[in-house]
Structure 1
Amino acid sequence: MSNNRAAALRERLETNGKAATAIADRADREGRGFTAAEAGQVEKYLGQMKSDRAALARIDTDNAVKAEIHALGAGIGLGDDPRPFGGAVKTGTGFRGRAGAWAKATLDQVRATIERPDGTKALVSGSIGITSPILAEPVAEGSPPTTVLDLLLNRIPLAGGNTYSYLRQIERQDRAAAVPDAAPKPVSRYTVQDIEGRVRVLAHLSEPVPIRLFDDYAGLSDFLESEMGRGLARALEYHVFEGQGETGSDDPDTPLGADHAESLTGLEYTSGTLVQQYTDDTIRTMRKARTQLAIRGDVPTGWVMHPEDVENNDLVREGPDGAFLLATPPDNVLGPLPVVQSVAARPGVAWLADWTAALLVVRQEATLDVDRSGELFRSNQLQLRLEGRYGLAFTRPSAFVRVDLTGTAGD
């Protein structure tokens, strides 16, 4: 059924594209702009084309997920239940690899939209939606994560609406024991709390870009990858740690944006996380953090640290001229766990966690819009907008340890 639907959408895209192009060609030949009637027709065609492209992208994404499910031999419920947290596909190549591939594919689509095969310009107005799942797949298990997003293995698609709910564990007491016949059984306590969340829009615009730059394939591809794709990813990482939720105060100088009430709720503002106070030195402190999780039976999957703290650890010596203590991480201190560097983490604070207890809710994958209308058309420029809709859920806050590396890290 989805294949028939996709074929119909592609046919309508081609028909509407030809019709809109014919109107633009006629206006070009006659050396004039659009009449009111023509402008209305073009706007109608472009609106339908944008809608059809988005529908095609959803079909392609659904087909990819279905194929992945069949390949893994497992089913995942993706219905209308706002709590589809029974499982997630854990595959992918890591954010940095995906960002590069996304940038190249996106550039091909943009160039095809603004330029005909013969080199002449194509449609000159409207926005072109290009859905790009740059954040939809986590890094493959067994591959080293390079960003915080690569640690978030559980990605949950939200099928509809703007809100979601999940169960957060707030207490765990294991009391299983040997019991004589007819004796009362001990009662373990696993208390959970129903938490409601709301997805937020994360977005940014590029400055107007001269269209001639699209002739420089490599340069613009790098721009899309490093500035647009990674810029959105960095903002999302910041929310993972510093998002204040609806209780936050406004500060336009942070990556949360001017309105903190529109931020997600990150780890720094999630109740129930563990704390490891600074003890003598960073090595002892970090080792004690691992002990906290081990006592609770949680198995950490990685560290996140600010790059300055990673550097400080790398330079720790045994005496003024001794060997670097953490040059090869010993199993009883840092490893064999990955250490992800992120400027989203506060300097002086490390996070050790079982990151599978964090869920990234994806209502809308990152979508790139390209606009050449209005004043942009007059100056032969275009502007790019990348945005997505995301939510966060920490189902077991006690699986996250906030580690004070200096004794002076603020709360």
Structure 2
Amino acid sequence: MNAKIKALQNEALKHTAKARALTEKAQGEGRDFTAAERSEYDAAMAKAKSYLEQIKTLKADEKVLADAKALAAQIGDPVDERGNRLDGFAGGGATKAKGRVGLSGKAGKELASRIAAGMVDGQKALLPAGTAHAGVPLLPEIVELGHPSNTLLDALVALPAPGPTFKALVQRQRDNNAAPVAEGDTKPTSVFGLEEVEVNLEVLAHMSEPTPRYWFEDNDALQVFVQDEMVRGLRDALEAQVLTGDGTRPNLQGVLTTSGVQVQSFTTDVARSVRSAITKLETAGHEDNHVIVLRPEDWEAAETARAEGSGQLEAVANVTQRAQRTLWGVPVVVSNALPAGTGLVIDREAVVVYSDNVVDVRWSETVADDFQKNLVRARVESRYAAVVSKPLGVVRVATVATP
């Protein structure tokens, strides 16, 4: 266990060091982060926090093991470092069969009552039913530094919600009428189109299929695998909602269904259509900190487009190497959740994702007849809301010509 903790600590330190290097570089040059640096910094810190959460879980497990060992020693049963008996006999209120410690009698009941909350036979317990196994940070799977962001959620602003229901201001218009004014004349009025909207956190959740309990006891990695798969699935569902949710509860209000977003029709190809969308953002006052969202096939079309007359690929210098995922100097994320023929160019600060800030993971044997069949399930959930606070900071892009 100590080796595992040390390895996790090294990983956490590695990512915090990368974040610190980015900060020192920007400070040394007397400037703020670029959009790419901000994304890399946030990714490094999120990854470090993920490793720290794993360290906390392992340390808690070590304490339970130590408590179990100490208690067993007081009762009179010699145990190894995992809490398993060493003498192989049935004395002291315990019976041994097939490598497991079976508990019986008064001493066994006392030992069971002390360790049941966290351990079973010196192993991490998935139970008791309905008890949270661990709190998982909102973004547990952030891409390594030096690679493009994998999802739109990595690129957007994520904030803890102030409550289950709250108010947010949305700017649907910007009409700047500032102008020279002669003495005594009425000053012009600028319109900023602010609107107060009510926002509700909505539950996104799913459960795992029933899995034999002994699979978890025989495979130390299975619990982490199931948890990671389910958290990733939750993030995929959240991204789809952020993009396309229709706003009818319990659906989130998605970017594509928000009124007031700009629209860019298809021009000659994907890359040029996106470039025109960038111009629309700049014209509306959203000059930088953009992110482009494309479906995989549209990113392929943009990445492999050839410049007119030159025959050279526009987005890549060498087809044998994966390009940095940018178009017109703007980071690109790929999403299957977008409707076909649709892309987006977004000012990162125009869309905010709110949440409880923790994904809740719980393990249970109490669903249906799982207990009788010795099956275990996981439930993963959290609450989210999405707010397009500046619709003019979003451009919906047609990536194919209209028939």
TM-score range normalised by the length of the shorter chain:
0.5 to 0.7
Tell me the alpha carbon deviations over residues 148-191 of structure 1, each in whole angstroms, 9 at most, x when there is no partner.
Answer: 11112241322x4x322211112111122233333332221112
Q: Is the 8 A contact 1:239 1:264 kept in 2?
A: yes
My pick for the range that moved more, 121-130 or 97-106, is 97-106
Q: Is the 8 A contact 1:134 1:229 kept in 2?
A: no
Matched, 1:268 2:270: no
After TM superposition, list the pairs within 5 Å mapping 1:256-335 onto structure 2.
261-298=249-286, 299-318=288-307, 322-327=311-316, 334-335=327-328
Per the alignment, residue 245 of structure 2 pairs with 243
The aligned amino acid for 2:372 is R
Separation in 1 of the partners of 2:297 and 2:356? 34
Separation in 2 of the partners of 1:320 and 1:181? 58
Q: TM-score normalized by structure 2?
A: 0.65
Tell me the alpha carbon deviations over residues 35-81 of structure 1, each in whole angstroms, 9 at most, x when there is no partner.
Answer: xxxxxxxxxxxxxxxxxxxxxxxxxxxxxxxxxxxxx9xxxxxxxxx
Separation in 1 of the partners of 2:124 and 2:275? 62
Q: TM-score normalized by structure 1?
A: 0.64
Per the alignment, residue 29 of structure 2 pairs with none
* Secondary structure of the structure 1 residue equivalent to 2:137: coil
Q: Is the 8 A contact 1:125 1:373 kept in 2?
A: no
The aligned amino acid for 1:156 is P
Separation in 2 of the partners of 1:372 and 1:105? 26
Matched, 1:222 2:225: yes
Q: Is the 8 A contact 2:47 2:141 kept in 1?
A: no
The aligned amino acid for 2:152 is V
Change (3 A) 1:280 1:319: closer
Shift of 1:102: 8.6
Matched, 1:360 2:353: yes
Change (3 A) 1:357 1:139: farther
Change (3 A) 1:195 1:131: farther
* Secondary structure of the structure 2 residue equivalent to 1:171: coil
* Secondary structure of the structure 2 residue equivalent to 1:339: strand
The aligned amino acid for 2:234 is L
Give percent identity, aligned residues only. 29
* Secondary structure of the structure 2 residue equivalent to 1:179: coil
Separation in 2 of the partners of 1:99 and 1:223? 20
**Equivalent pairs, count:** 302
Shift of 1:403: 0.5
Change (3 A) 1:135 1:343: same
Tell me the alpha carbon deviations over residues 367-405 of structure 1, each in whole angstroms, 9 at most, x when there is no partner.
Answer: 011102363233332100000011111111110000001
Q: Is the 8 A contact 1:165 1:195 kept in 2?
A: yes
After TM superposition, list the pairs within 5 Å mapping 1:364-379 onto structure 2.
365-373=358-366, 375-379=369-373
Task: Choose which of 233, 236, 246 in structure 1 pairs with 2:235.
Answer: 233
Structure 2's unaligned 5+ residue stretches are: 1-22, 24-39, 65-115
Change (3 A) 1:103 1:230: farther
Per the alignment, residue 397 of structure 2 pairs with 403
Structure 1's unaligned 5+ residue stretches are: 1-71, 73-89, 247-260
Separation in 2 of the partners of 1:224 and 1:389? 17
Q: CA RMSD in A?
A: 3.8
Change (3 A) 1:121 1:182: closer
After TM superposition, list the pairs within 5 Å mapping 1:59-98 onto structure 2.
92-93=42-43, 97=47
Q: Is the 8 A contact 2:179 2:188 kept in 1?
A: yes
After TM superposition, list the pairs within 5 Å mapping 1:196-215 onto structure 2.
196-214=198-216, 215=218
Matched, 1:382 2:382: no
Change (3 A) 1:400 1:287: same
Shift of 1:271: 0.3
